[in-house]
Amino acid sequence: MANGELKLLGTWCSQYVIRIRMMFELKGLSYDYIEENFANKSELLLKHNPVHKKVPVLIHRDRAICESLVILQYIDENWSGTGPPVLPANPYDRAMARFWAVYIDDKLPRQLIDTLKAATEEAKAEKIADIHAVLELLEGAFNKCSAGKVFFGGESVGYLDVTLGSYLAWIKAEERIVGAKLLDETKVPLLAEWEKSFLAADCAKKFLPSVERVEEYVRELLVTKWKVTSA
């Protein structure tokens, strides 16, 4: 692919950007990565995502695709013959993968943030229980989608793997901050094993930031943005 044909606008701390970069790695696609500064958004970002003005934005031949799950599906359709498949071939399995990806993005970020912002130990315990409930449902989804294999996508990393896997550094950072196990092998043993396999994948090792860097970033957010000083 010609240099400059694909551009990805993103930031290092965005799970949604990281999952796109991991998928490009799996597909073996070359692209130009442009790091955005939220304090001074580029004209390129404002031009190509005037609705939400946020990342990720994939620019393919000067046409923009926004929202990470939409981008992943675009990659699946546009480069179906390159690298491993992003989504399952079976229509029902594809529908289920899309459903659970939306569930992950709808539930997990809000639960993680609410736990960090909890004002009391009692409130924090309730929010941690909510996260466990989300992950326990995903444990069941993994059991069905994986059909006994290593990943949600079977033998290789796929759509749901990068969707959930893009949160792992943040989950680990939050475990350190709140002092509780979130991805608990006693509650979600299948996901605990999946996590080990996913973190060993080249795409995860290359693009997931360190837990230490994410923890530092989140602690800064707690003070500067969310005005929480007790974490």
Q: What is the pLDDT of residues 115-147, one digit of tens each?
A: 999 999 999 999 999 999 999 999 999 999 999
Q: Does 129 share its domain with 206?
A: yes
Q: pLDDT tens digit string along 173-228?
A: 999 999 999 999 999 999 999 999 999 999 999 999 999 999 999 999 999 988 77
Which of 78, 104, 134 is a domain's end point? 78
Three-state secondary structure along the chain?
CCCCCEEEEECCCCHHHHHHHHHHHHHCCCCEEEECCHHHCCHHHHHHCCCCCCCCEEEECCEEEECHHHHHHHHHHHCCCCCCCCCCCCHHHHHHHHHHHHHHHHHHHHHHHHHHHCCCHHHHHHHHHHHHHHHHHHHHHHHHHHCCCCECCECCCCHHHHHHHCCHHHHHHHHHHHCCCCCCCCCCHHHHHHHHHHHHCHHHHHHCCCHHHHHHHHHHHHHHCCCCCCC
Q: Does 72 share its domain with 113?
A: no
Number of alpha helices (DSSP H) and beta strands (DSSP E) in the chain: 10, 4
| Residue 59 CB-half CA count within 13 A | 18
Mean pLDDT of 59-64: 96
Q: Is the pLDDT of residue 1 over 50?
A: no
- Residue 159 forms part of a structural domain: yes
- Residue 113 forms part of a structural domain: yes
Q: Does 66 share its domain with 96?
A: no
Three-state secondary structure along 173-219?
HHHHHHCCCCCCCCCCHHHHHHHHHHHHCHHHHHHCCCHHHHHHHHH
Question: Average model confidence (pLDDT) for the chain?
Answer: 95
Structure confidence at residue 230 (pLDDT): 56
CB 154 within 8 A of CB 105: no
In this structure, how many other beta carbons lie within 10 angstroms of the beta carbon of residue 66?
18
Which of 24, 51, 78 is a domain's end point? 78
Residue 175 tokens, joined? 């475990």
Q: Is the pLDDT of residue 83 over 70?
A: yes
Structure confidence at residue 229 (pLDDT): 62
Structure confidence at residue 84 (pLDDT): 87
Q: Does 104 share its domain with 217?
A: yes
Q: Does 66 share its domain with 98?
A: no
Structure confidence at residue 192 (pLDDT): 98
Q: pLDDT tens digit string along 5-32?
A: 999 999 999 999 999 999 999 999 999 9
- Residue 120 forms part of a structural domain: yes
Least confident residue range of 51-60, 81-90, 161-170 = 81-90
- Residue 103 forms part of a structural domain: yes
Structure confidence at residue 4 (pLDDT): 72
| Structural domain containing residue 33 | 6-78
Mean pLDDT of 70-94: 94
Q: How many domains are contained in the chain?
A: 2
Structure confidence at residue 3 (pLDDT): 57
Least confident residue range of 37-41, 106-110, 133-137, 217-221 = 37-41
Structure confidence at residue 2 (pLDDT): 43
